[in-house]
């Protein structure tokens, strides 16, 4: 399993893509709220608990070509594996 956490700054939008072994595995989109300048801490941006055993690669892509401006305030990743 893998869990990706970040901080949302509510005055900025976020658009993320997640890949496992080079293949799309999910997205996260947050649209800004210009009236609220606060932060949201420990926000789970993406989770996947169906990854099989073995060696894998993980990638987080910020934004989309030609898309909106995107801010990522990466906080931490939690992952688990079998021995």
What pLDDT digit, counting tens, does each position of 26-53 carry? 999 999 888 888 999 999 999 999 998 8
pTM: 0.88
Q: Structure tokens of 9?
A: 């700054």
Whether 76 has a pLDDT exceeding 80, the answer reads yes
Residues 6+ apart with CB under 8 A from 44: 3, 4, 5
Mean pLDDT, the chain, as a whole number?
Answer: 92
Indicate the pairing of strand 23-30 with strand 2-9.
unpaired
* Calpha distance 79→83 (Å, rounded): 13
- 77 neighbors 3 (Cβ within 8 angstroms): yes
């Amino acid at each position: 399993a893998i869990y990706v956490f970040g901080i949302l700054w509510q005055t900025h939008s976020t658009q993320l893509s997640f890949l496992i072994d080079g293949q799309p595995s999910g997205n996260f989109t947050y649209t800004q709220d210009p009236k609220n300048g606060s932060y949201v801490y420990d926000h789970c941006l993406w989770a996947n608990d169906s990854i099989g055993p073995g060696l894998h690669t993980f990638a987080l892509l910020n934004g989309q070509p030609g898309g909106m401006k995107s801010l990522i305030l990466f906080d931490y990743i939690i992952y688990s594996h079998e021995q």
